[in-house]
Amino acid sequence: MSRVFEFDSAIVRTPGVSVVNGMRADRSATPKYDGVVREHAAYVAALRAAGVTVEVLPALEAFPDSVFVEDPALVFGDGAVLLRPGAPSRMGEREAMRPVMERHFATVLELGDGELADGGDVLVTRDAVMIGLSARTNREGAEALAAALARLGRRAWIVETPAGVLHFKTACSLLDEETVLATRVMAESGVFTGFGVVIVPEDEEAAANALRVNDAVLVGERFPRTCELLAARGYSVVPLPVTEIGKLDAGLSCMSLRWKRGT
């Protein structure tokens, strides 16, 4: 049986020029378009180096945040779910993703009106899919997603995202099937009972959004203590530039949809 971080396929979307107008908490920190493009290219190269076949979708200039393809859809080897992003400006992204999902997956489920859920609030673990309630994922959306996951033969846990955290995975990521990387606030929330938890160093909280892909753990290179911490624990760390992407309140998991065919 494959592990939940084993992937052979991924979808990404080229960042549009409009990405510099993407949503962000700090409006004074404007990302540089050329920098976003370079960071995205390094990310795609890292996925391919990890053994993943990557399909690159064209830019969607009408949707500045559309480079973050993880939010409007959730994918597995045997099916996909079209989500409903919690930010109204992103709602059209799921319709752009619909034909892509239908091309790749025989089963494509979807959430209904008022059922809001972002993929950034979904963490897939060995035993269940964790769905974090947040400003972008409401109770209706989480319950509808749990029902869709049940149709795909998967169990869901609905949990609370700590106050002030944009997405559940802003503050955590899966390192292996028994271990998560998390901020101290997330670790102390109690949602990871039964897991080993590695806490990111102080002042490197954004490093918690790492991404395990096969044998590689992708981590922002601007978080050297986290990179050293994980390397010392035996993980194969791949540091990646995330400075401009980080200005958009985003991280490494956001930029791709990943699955293993047939699982």
Catalytic residue positions, numbered: 167, 254
Q: Say how many C-beta atoms besides its own lie within 10 A of residue 155's C-beta.
A: 11
Parallel, antiparallel or unpaired: strands 216-220 and 236-240: parallel
- Residue in this structure with the two tokens 């993943």, named with its chain if needed: 52
User: Two tokens at 172?
Assistant: 């955590």
- The torsion angles phi and psi of 27, rounded to 5 degrees, stand at -70, -15
DSSP 133: E
Of 141, 149, 121, nearest to 209 by C-alpha is: 121
Report the C-alpha gap between 231 and 253 in whole angstroms. 19
Where do runs of H (alpha helix) occur along 82-183? 91-104, 139-151
Residue with token string 């107008």: 21
Q: Output DSSP code: residue 84.
A: B
Q: Tell me 117's DSSP state.
A: B
Compute the residue count for the chain.
Answer: 263
Where are the alpha helices (H) located in the chain, listed in sequence order? 33-49, 91-104, 139-151, 184-188, 224-232, 243-246
Burial category of 84 from C-beta neighbours within 10 Å (exposed 0-12, middle 13-18, buried 19 and up): buried
